[in-house]
Amino acid sequence: MRGKRFAVLAAVIALVSGASTADAIVGGTPARVADTPWVVAITTPDGQLICGGALVAADKVVTAAHCATLKGVMSRNQRPAEQLRVVAGRTDLRVKTDGTEAAVADVWRHPGFREVTKGDDVAVLTLARPLPYRTIALGDAGDEGTVLGWGRTAENTPPAMTLRKVTVPILSDSECVLKEPDYRPGGMLCAGRGGRDACTGDSGGPLVVRGRLAGVVSFGRGCARADEPGVYTRLAHYRSTLGF
Ligand code: 4AZ
C-alpha cells in the first residue's frame, strides 16, 4: 500500500516537474550512427564532448560558430584547431575504439559571429584527412525536422554521450519572433513546442529536413519548455557564403 502510494506520488512529481524516464536528446529515442553516418561529435583532444556537427564533404564539417569559440569573460577568440577533434562512426562516445577520429586542420567561423543571440552561428572545420563516411547535402527548412546529438536529455542532466534523435515541428518566423525575443528572421529558424528539443551538448549538431541539412543547433532558453522553441542557424541563408 505504502509502495503504491509512493509510486503515484513519484509519478505526479515527475509530471509536474516535466521530468520523464523516457527522455532523450530531450523527448527522443536512441539513434545509431550507421543510419546517419554524416553526424559527427566534436570533442576536446581528451574526448570531452563539445558539440555536434555534420560531414558535408569528406574533409568538411558544418557546426556552430560558438562550438569553435573559447569560453571566457574577456575572450570570444576562436578555439585553436589543435584543441578540436572530430569523431565519426561512434554511437556511444565512451567506446573509444568505435569509428574514426580526425584532427582539425583549419577553423572557419562566420566573420559576423559575435554571440549566439546575434546570429551567424555557423562554422566550417576542415579536417586533417578525409573521413570514409557518407556526407549530407545542404537543404531548406520545412514543416518538421529531426535533430540529433549526444547532449543532455533534460536541462540538468549530464550529456547522454550516446547518440539520440527527435522530431521537432518547425515554426513560422512570426511565431518564433513572438516566443523568442532574440530571434532574427533570415539567418535563424526555430523549432519545438515543448517536450522535444535539443539541449546542452547538442549545439552545432544537425537539423535534418527531408534528408538534407537545414539547420545547426544554436541556442534556446532551457530545453523542451513549452513556449521556448530551440533556435537553429538556417543554412539556406548561408549557402553562398559557405560555398558548397
Ligand atoms: C546549449 O546550451 C543549448 N533548447 C542548445 C540548444 C538549446 C538550448 C541550449 C535549445 O548548447
Cβ atoms of 163 and 94 within 8 Å: the answer is no
Mutation test residue for ligand 1: of 189, 199, 221, the one with most atoms within 8 Å of CB? 199
CA distances from 30 to 53, 92, 111, 150 (A): 17, 10, 35, 10
Q: Quote the pLDDT of residue 88.
A: 98
Q: Quote the pLDDT of residue 73.
A: 75
Cell numbers that stand for 52 in this block: 555536434
Cβ atoms of 41 and 54 within 8 Å: the answer is no
Query: What digits encode the pLDDT tens for the residues 158-190?
Result: 999 999 999 999 999 999 999 999 999 999 999
pTM, two decimals, is: 0.90
Q: Please tell me the distance from the alpha carbon of residue 5 to that of residue 15, in angstroms, as a whole number.
A: 15
CA of 12 to the centre of ligand 1 (A): 27
Ligand 1: which residues within 6 Å by Cβ?
197-200, 202-203, 217, 219-220, 223, 230
Which ligand 1 atom is at minimum distance from the Cα of 203? 11
Q: Quote the pLDDT of residue 55.
A: 98
Query: What digits encode the pLDDT tens for the residues 18-43?
Result: 433 333 499 999 999 999 999 999 99
CA of 153 to the centre of ligand 1 (A): 11
Question: Is the pLDDT confidence value at 13 over 90?
Answer: no
